[in-house]
Amino acid sequence: MRSRRLPTAVLVLGLLGAGCYVVPEPVAVPAPPPAPPPRVEAPPPVPGPTYVWVPGHWAWRGPSYGYVWVPGRYAVPVQPGYVWVPPHWAPAPGGYVWVQGHWRLR
């Protein structure tokens, strides 16, 4: 017997419509990321003409682990003409908060 399941998009939209989706508040990290801010990375060969290099960044993994380096990667822009705005740590009351990277129209 075949299982009947709703598509994931329908479930997500239903949850959004029901007001069940909660965006977590940014958490302030007490210490700044390691200096110098980014590591120098040598990107591997480009996998294709539409790919762009998204540099690595420091990620906070909690007080037990501290900051860890997340290596860069290649990505395809969401649409032609978009550029990658790198993520970064911004000073905030109580420490530093993470500002997510995103695609932006030139």
The total domain count for the chain is 1
In a domain, 95, yes or no: yes
Q: Is residue 13 part of a domain?
A: no
Tell me if 65 is assigned to some domain: yes
In-domain check, residue 5: no
**Other beta carbons less than 10 A from residue 96's beta carbon:** 19
Question: What pLDDT is attached to residue 9?
Answer: 43
Q: Express each pLDDT in 18-27 by its tens digit.
A: 455 555 667 7
Closest CA to 83 of 66, 102, 97, 67: 102
pLDDT for 17 beyond 60: no
pLDDT band at 37 (very low <50, low <70, confident <90, very high): low
Quick count: other Cβ atoms within 10 Å of Cβ 55?
17
Is position 37 within any domain?
yes
Average confidence (pLDDT) over 30-41: 82
Q: Tens of pLDDT along 56-105?
A: 999 999 989 999 999 999 999 999 999 999 999 999 999 999 999 999 99
> Does residue 21 fall inside a structural domain?
no
Give which of 91, 87, 102, 96 is closest to 56, Cα–Cα. Answer: 87
